[in-house]
Chains A and B, each alone.
Chain A
Amino acid sequence: MALDDRKSHFTFVGTRPNRPDGLDKVTGRARFGADVTAPGMLFGAILRSPHAHARIVRIDTSKAEAHRDVKAVVTRADFADVPFKPGLEGEFWNVLENVMAGEKALYDGHAVAAVAASSALAARDALKLIEVEYEVLPHVTDVDKAMAPDAPVIREGAADYSVPEGMHPNVVRYHESGHGDVEAGFAEADLVIEDHFVTEATHQGYIEPHACLASLGADGKGELWCCTQGHWIVQKTCAALLGIETAQLRVTASEIGGGFGGKTTVFIEPVALALSRKANRPVKIVMSRSEVLRATGPTASASMDVKIGMKKDGTITAAQGVFRLQGGAFPGAPGDMTAMCAFAPYNLTNVRQVGYDVMSNRPKQAAYRAPGAPMGAFAVESVIDELCKKLGLDPVEVRLKNAVREGTKASYGPTYDRIGLVETLEAAKAHPHYSAPLKPGQGRGVACGFWFNHGGETSVSLALSEDGSAQLMVGTPDIGGSRASMALMAAEVLGIPYENIRVTIADTATLGYNDVSHGSRVTYASGLATIKAAQHAVEKLCERAAAKWGIPVDAVKWENGCAVPSGPNAGDFDPLPLAEITADMGRTGGPISGHFEATPEGAGVSFGTHIVDAEVDPETGKTSITRYTVIQDAGKAIHPAYVEGQFQGGAAQGIGWALNEEYIYGEDGRLQNPVFLDYRIPVASDLPMIDTVIVEVPNPGHPFGVRGVGETGIVPPLAAIANAVSNAAGVRMRQLPMSPPRILAALKGNG
Chain B
Amino acid sequence: MIKITDLEKFYRTEEVETIALNKLSMEINTGEFVAIMGPSGCGKSTLLNILGMLDDPDGGSYMFNGAEIAHFTERKRANLRKHNLGFVFQSFNLIDELTVFENVELPLIYTKVPAKERLSRVEAVLEKMQIMHRRNHYPQQLSGGQQQRVAIARAVVNNPKLILADEPTGNLDSSNGNDVMELLTDLNEQGTTIIMVTHSEHDARYSHRIIRLLDGQTVLENILI
A and B interact physically: no
Interface residues, chain A, with chain B CB atoms under 8 Å away? none
